[in-house]
Structure 1
């Protein structure tokens, strides 16, 4: 199961310019999605609390990134971190999103 979750997580990351692994009730996730929406970004969201393999995906993400918490954000296949990391990059965000083909 772990290998399947890891390859699924990696596939999502590889196939999307901007990815947010999120939980639907998480306020930090909402802040991340709201900032990306304000920027007009196209992004892929995987709500880990709403998919059957969410816990396995979260374990896989911890293995891939060393980060267990959500949101777990990737831009151009690079791990950005969580919401505070994204907010800290606000000034560079337009450029990052553009290079990811998300705007």
Structure 2
């Protein structure tokens, strides 16, 4: 239990998660969208950590979200805070994000692309996994906008901007649906296998 408390107090925002947990991915994506870079502790192979979270009152144990060293709750609690507008305020008070941030011009370009298109994949032409995700979306009836970074003169700067936005490093493929960061291949496949991907894509399916 002390290890959980110690880890939770080391950064302004901390999320205990499992790589196979779809709600964990959603909460991480929400924090990234709000401009936070939470510390992520995956407990896939640490049953003692998960048990310690339960003993602390985390129910369900994952995702377990801490802000400013204090337990905020699991996915439902975090979403409720986000809906009533208090989540961002908590993150600002804990200095997990700043209320005024200088916007990177490359971030503006990324924001423009994901705002104007329902499904966007930031890709590299040499990336096999990018191609696999694109084909999956097409098989599900969606034609995503595929923006190949290596064909963009500002590609290197955009790649750094994607990482700053919360994408993995290297950030390919970086998948956005409805303006929200979904993640990379692992997150997309986890959503697909759990049956959660298709409902997200349904508004963007092309009618036959």
> Could you tell me the TM-score, scaled by structure 2's length?
0.46
Asked if residue 97 in structure 1 is aligned to residue 201 in structure 2, the reply is yes
CA contact (8 A) 2:174 2:183 kept: yes
Compare CA radii of gyration and give the structure with the larger one.
2
CA contact (8 A) 2:167 2:183 kept: no
Structure with the greater relative contact order (CA < 8 A, sep ≥ 6): 1 or 2?
1
SS at match of 1:21: strand
Displacement of 1:67 in angstroms is 2.4
**Counterpart Cα distance in 2 of 1:13 and 1:86:** 17
Displacement of 1:66 in angstroms is 4.3
RMSD between aligned residues? 1.4
**Within-5 A mapping of 1:1-103:** 3-68=104-169, 69-90=171-192, 91-98=195-202, 101-103=203-205
SS at match of 1:14: helix
**Counterpart Cα distance in 2 of 1:15 and 1:63:** 21
Larger fraction in helix: 1
Number of residue pairs matched by the alignment: 100
**Counterpart Cα distance in 2 of 1:51 and 1:63:** 18
Displacement of 1:3 in angstroms is 2.1
Q: Which runs of 5+ in 2 are unaligned?
A: 1-102
